[in-house]
Chains A and B, each alone.
Chain A
Amino acid sequence: MRLIRYLLLLSLAILLNLPGCGTKEFKEITLNEVTHSIFYSPQYVAINKGFFEEEGLKVTLVNGAGADKVMTAVLSGQADIGFSGPEACIYVYNEGKEDYAVVFAQLTKRDGSFLVAREPMPDFKWEDVRGKFIIGGRKGGVPLMTLEYVLKQNNLIPGVDVEVDTSIQFALMGGAFLSGMGDFVTLFEPVASSFEKEGTGYIVASIGESSGEIPYTAYYAKKSYIEKNPDIIQSFTNAIYKAQQWIEKSPDREVAKAIAPSFPDTDLDLLETVVKRYKSQDTWNKTPVMKEEAFNRLQEVMKEAGELMELAPYDKLVDKSFAEKAIDNIK
Chain B
Amino acid sequence: MYKQESEEQKKYLQKLKARKRLITALRILLLIFIFVFWEAVTRFNWLDPFIFSSPGRMLNTFIRLYNEGSLMTHIFTTLWETVVGFLLGTIFGILIAIILWLSETCSRVLEPYLVVANALPKIALGPVFIVWMGAGPVAIITVAVTVSLIVTVLEVYTGFLETDSEKIRLVQSFGANRKQVLTKVVLPSSFPVMMNALKVNVGMSWVGVIVGEFLVSKAGLGYLIVYGGQVFQLDLVMTSVLILSVLAALMYFGVQLLGKWISEKY
Q: How many A-B residue pairs have CB under 8 A?
A: 78
Q: Give me the interface of B with A, judged by CB distance under 8 Å.
A: 48-51, 127, 130-136, 214-218, 223, 226-227, 229-234
Collect the chain B residues with CB atoms within 8 Å of residue A165's CB: 135, 218
B134 touches A138 (CB 8 A): no
Asked if A12 is at the interface (CB within 8 A of a chain B CB), the reply is no
Alpha-carbon distance between A141 and B50 when the two chains are bound, in angstroms = 20
A171 touches B226 (CB 8 A): no
A181 touches B135 (CB 8 A): yes
A178 touches B230 (CB 8 A): no
Collect the chain B residues with CB atoms within 8 Å of residue A138's CB: 226-227, 230
A176 touches B134 (CB 8 A): yes
B135 touches A139 (CB 8 A): no
Collect the chain B residues with CB atoms within 8 Å of residue A166's CB: 218
B232 touches A139 (CB 8 A): no
- Report 22 cross-chain contacts, Cβ distance below 8 Å, ordered by A residue: A68-B229, A68-B230, A72-B229, A88-B232, A92-B232, A95-B50, A95-B233, A96-B50, A97-B50, A139-B218, A141-B230, A166-B218, A167-B217, A168-B135, A168-B215, A168-B216, A171-B127, A172-B130, A176-B131, A176-B135, A178-B131, A179-B132
Asked if A140 is at the interface (CB within 8 A of a chain B CB), the reply is yes
Collect the chain A residues with CB atoms within 8 Å of residue B226's CB: 138, 169
| Main DSSP-derived SS at the B contact region | helix
B232 touches A95 (CB 8 A): yes
B131 touches A175 (CB 8 A): yes
Contact of A167 among B127, B133, B218 (CB under 8 A): B218
Contact of A179 among B50, B130, B232, B233 (CB under 8 A): B130
Q: How many residues of A contact B (CB 8 A)?
A: 31
B214 touches A169 (CB 8 A): yes
Within the complex, what minimum Cβ distance (angstroms) separates A145 from chain B?
11
Within the complex, what minimum Cβ distance (angstroms) separates A316 from chain B?
16
Within the complex, what minimum Cβ distance (angstroms) separates B263 from chain A?
42
B134 touches A172 (CB 8 A): no
Q: What is the chain A residue whose CB lies nearest that of B127?
A: A172
Q: Mark A120-134, 1 if CB is under 8 A from B, else 0.
A: 000000000000000
B230 touches A169 (CB 8 A): no
Q: Given known contacts A95-B50, A179-B131, is B232 in contact with A167 (CB within 8 Å)?
A: no
